[in-house]
A and B are shown apart, each in its own frame.
Chain A
């Protein structure tokens, strides 16, 4: 709001809008096939599965906002590790749901601190530090449970697949996190610090920002978000699997960039993350529904992503 003039057309200049437009088009195109039948079901499914992508995407966004070279490639391994440990601790016992959550979050905290320690103490480039560390987390997950799938406690599974006021519970979790993230980025001092650090770390430090604390918090938060997503996903799909996070590596980056994230801040990107998360689900559903094979599906997905970024950028650049 603050960087735009009060022109109503200025809304078009918001890059996040285009992810929503694309999601809506994919939604409409899918329903075109059934002449409107199944709209509720599809929206419900999109919200359920979009929630996981949105949660990890918001975490990834915080890190990507830190500027070039910052990205967390350990998200899938973090999801797997925290879910595996949490489910193991819970052992399908209904009384243990919160204990499981605590274990998952503690795992996330540990992972985040470990990642940042590699980046800060050993000065490794984040891309490689998180990539290398993720291999270690993966081994830990294998070692801890050898890939055995333990069922989540009954109540927890019901919560994860249940709904409240017509929306999936996981989507509520994703929405609450989105609001919190939005407030932090748009309204809080810490959010300003994050955005400033991403533009020019040296200048930010000289402006009095505690940049290392900001970086640490970003890397810990992304791990916490990933851990939470892993915990929910395992509860949602009936247990933790070793490969459960695999598709969320590319997904987390994709929703951030499609969501119109630029490190500029100011135009909040959080709504874009959700739009992109829904889009990523709906576009696959649409192409599957039209019977597109894997090849066509990939080509069209890529083409649509590029179309979104072009649409978003031509609107952005004013004369």
Chain B
């Protein structure tokens, strides 16, 4: 490894782009938690990034309102999916086109600027550990309390585990699903804002990749597609691992032909290693 990478500065560089990915992964986790899958989170984060770099920067009040409306629309999406019993995969696929189209409206060409306070927040230099590490730990801790420790989080996971039993226990599942999606929207908004804080500007395609990345992160972190088995700490670690895997690669000098393939190979290795550990853990 590179000696510079282990410094305060190096760790920050290595990990700061993992912060928005971690947030997007948590958003995806909220949806996977209730047995659905979100194919629109990448487009949504892109849209948020566009809003942040334009409205939130130029007319903060309007920007905040738009972002709140976006969170709300995510919650409504969840409610509609539940109420009409629609397959989430199709609805979110459709919504990904909608978010993408809106983003193109706002920023037909790359541009905008990050609001100063977000930029400051994302580049702040806390003592001891760099911002990226502090943020990752903070996100993991807060979401762990939210989803694993808290009572409501437990009920939300219960929806993924056995929706009927939660319903029979007297919960309004419509409201719970809307809440789960609303939280996904909230973390999606945070991801978009964090991303713009790092990149300083936005474009309509900026985070499309986050859809697959976030799914991979959730699974890498030990989550499962059905049954409400998720781990926020795992998801954050998954997001960090995915970022690190790509970095690790540029430290080895490969022929350009194989650079792309090597990223795939690393992904496979990381996952295999994780599964081996998991199996050892289970055996012990």
A–B proximity contact (CB within 8 A): yes
B262 contacts chain A at the CB level, 8 A cutoff:
yes
Residues of B within 8 A of A300 (CB): 101
**Contact (Cβ within 8 A) A118 B268:** yes
Which parts of B84-126 form the interface with A (CB within 8 Å)? 84-87, 89-91, 93-105, 108
Residue pairs across A and B with CB atoms within 8 Å: the count is: 138
**Contact (Cβ within 8 A) B85 A257:** no
A139 contacts chain B at the CB level, 8 A cutoff:
yes
A301 contacts chain B at the CB level, 8 A cutoff:
yes
Complex alpha-carbon distance, A240 and B225, angstroms? 36
Residues of B within 8 A of A136 (CB): 261, 264-265
**Contact (Cβ within 8 A) A302 B101:** yes
Which parts of A91-142 form the interface with B (CB within 8 Å)? 118, 122-125, 127-129, 131-140, 142
Residues of B within 8 A of A293 (CB): 104, 108
Complex alpha-carbon distance, A132 and B272, angstroms? 12
Across the interface, name the chain B residue whose C-beta is closest to A129.
Answer: B268
**Contact (Cβ within 8 A) A131 B216:** yes
Indicate the size class of the contact surface on chain B: 35 or more
**Contact (Cβ within 8 A) B93 A305:** yes
**Contact (Cβ within 8 A) A139 B98:** no
**Contact (Cβ within 8 A) B98 A302:** yes
Q: Given A122-B272, A124-B275, A136-B265, do A299 and B101 touch, yes or no (CB 8 Å)?
A: yes
Indicate the size class of the contact surface on chain A: 35 or more
- Chain B min CB distance to A31 (Å): 24
Tell me which of B37, B93, B104, B257 contacts A254 (CB under 8 A). Answer: B93
Complex alpha-carbon distance, A118 and B95, angstroms? 32
Which parts of A265-319 form the interface with B (CB within 8 Å)? 293-306, 309-310, 313-314, 317
Complex alpha-carbon distance, A304 and B39, angstroms? 16
Residues of A within 8 A of B194 (CB): none
Residues of B within 8 A of A305 (CB): 90, 93-94, 97
A244 contacts chain B at the CB level, 8 A cutoff:
no
B259 contacts chain A at the CB level, 8 A cutoff:
yes
- Chain B min CB distance to A185 (Å): 19
**Contact (Cβ within 8 A) A257 B93:** yes
A258 contacts chain B at the CB level, 8 A cutoff:
yes
Complex alpha-carbon distance, A88 and B190, angstroms? 47
**Contact (Cβ within 8 A) B104 A128:** no
Which parts of B193-234 form the interface with A (CB within 8 Å)? 212, 215-216, 219-220, 224-226
Complex alpha-carbon distance, A137 and B262, angstroms? 10
**Contact (Cβ within 8 A) A131 B93:** no
A73 contacts chain B at the CB level, 8 A cutoff:
yes
- Chain B min CB distance to A240 (Å): 16
B174 contacts chain A at the CB level, 8 A cutoff:
no
**Contact (Cβ within 8 A) A139 B259:** yes
**Contact (Cβ within 8 A) B257 A128:** no
- Chain B min CB distance to A275 (Å): 14
